Amino acid sequence: MSVQAHHLTHWIPLRIYWKELRPLVDWCWVGTQRFTEPFFDQTIDACLRHPFTNLFRPQTSIDMLRERHAIEPGLQPRGFIFHMSRCGSTLVSQMLAALPKNVVISEAGPIDSVLRAKFHDPSLSDEDRTDWLRWIVSALGQRRRGDEEHLFIKFDSWGVLDISLICRAYPGVPWIFLYRNPIEVLVSQLGHRGAHMVPGAIEPELFGMTRDGAFKMRPEEYCAKVLARLCEAALLHHQSSGGMMINYEQLPDALWTGVAEFLGVDVSDTDEQAFRHAASCDAKNPALGFETDSQDKQKRATEAVLEASARWLAPLYDRLEAARLGG
């Protein structure tokens, strides 16, 4: 299907993939559909249930993103959400998405593909990836209904490893990093692992490991070292670019008592009510009510989990707390 940039209003990039070492973009019709599901893929799945979206799926070169950005640049990001994983970041993104004035893109595959493009094409420079990031965010951050004001991007947890590139693409955009007691995060991940917790599912070099080394580690060690890498990146850039650290235990109140102001968003009484309603639901399954599980996770921690947390994560958790309490 041959298209031009001006034909792609109400379409968004569904995925970026490589064909014969050439990056291509799949586009999906979304119309005025808002991104209100917990994750980007869930909203896309809903759109793909319509026959039209399966019959018409434009595929273009990545240069189409540049052309699209030139004629309709979309909203500039108002804030970025980074996280340790399993620490309340989905709750924050769901609360922000509860306001119609916000466009919230949560863990979008095309953004991750851009950030990790260097593993497909080592010749790509950071400047190339910075341009691609601006173009993909522009395409994803379009107004759907016409009255949206703010764009928030929640990255996959490993996105924080590219925070220097992201901040270079968007200097001055505030960001938050969410974290949680590492024992609880490890218990959650070992019970149901995210992609970054499965050796080889994501390039181990991203986490400072070799492939052989990653496969030789015990699960508790591998997961703890990945989490440590994420926390170290957040701490390093908190010193240089002034992000905000948020402990899981501060949620949900932190959103309307500090985070929103930090991100430059005015919160009315009506907005706070919408935040509170979103916070009363399970973030990943909004049909269910929220129930705290910290005590349960602490009880389920094995000796191996406790040892891994104490060795690789407890000192970093203390540093995160010091960064948070020190402003």
Of 37, 92, 104, the closest CA to residue 250 belongs to 92
Please give the Cα distance from 327 to 325 (Å, whole number).
5
Confidence at residue 283, expressed as pLDDT on a 0 to 100 scale: 87
* Percentage of residues of the chain with pLDDT beyond 90: 85
DSSP element (H, E) containing 41: helix 40-48
Domain housing 96: 5-325
Domain count, the chain: 1
Cα(44)–Cα(14) distance, integer angstroms: 7
**pLDDT tens digits for range 290-318:** 888 899 999 999 999 999 999 999 999 99
CATH number for the domain harbouring residue 43: 3.40.50
pLDDT at 192 over 80: yes
Q: What is the pLDDT of residue 199?
A: 96
Residue with tokens 């850039």: 237
Helices and strands, counts by H and E, the chain: 16, 8
Structure tokens at 237: 């850039």
Give yes or no for a contact between 224 and 311, defined as CB atoms under 8 angstroms apart.
yes
Question: For residues 84 and 178, is the Cβ–Cβ distance under 8 A?
Answer: yes
Residue 131: how many CA atoms within 13 Å on its side-chain side?
12
Starting at the edge strand found earlier in the chain, the sheet holding 102-106 runs: 102-106, 150-154, 77-83, 175-179, 244-247
Strand boundaries in the chain, DSSP class E: 11-19, 22-29, 59-61, 77-83, 102-106, 150-154, 175-179, 244-247
d(Cα 314, Cα 183) in Å, to the nearest integer? 9
Is 274 a residue whose pLDDT tops 90? yes
Find how far residue 189's CA is from the centre of its chain. Answer: 17
pLDDT band at 4 (very low <50, low <70, confident <90, very high): confident
pLDDT at residue number 287:
81
pLDDT of 217: 97
Check if the beta carbon of residue 272 is closer than 8 Å to that of residue 256. Answer: yes
Instruction: For residue 77, give the nearest of 15, 162, 5, 149 by alpha carbon.
Output: 149
Condensed to tens digits (0 to 9), the pLDDT of residues 54-93 reads 678 899 999 999 999 999 999 999 999 999 999 999 999 9
pLDDT tens column, 240-252: 887 999 999 999 9
More confident residue, 145 or 268: 268
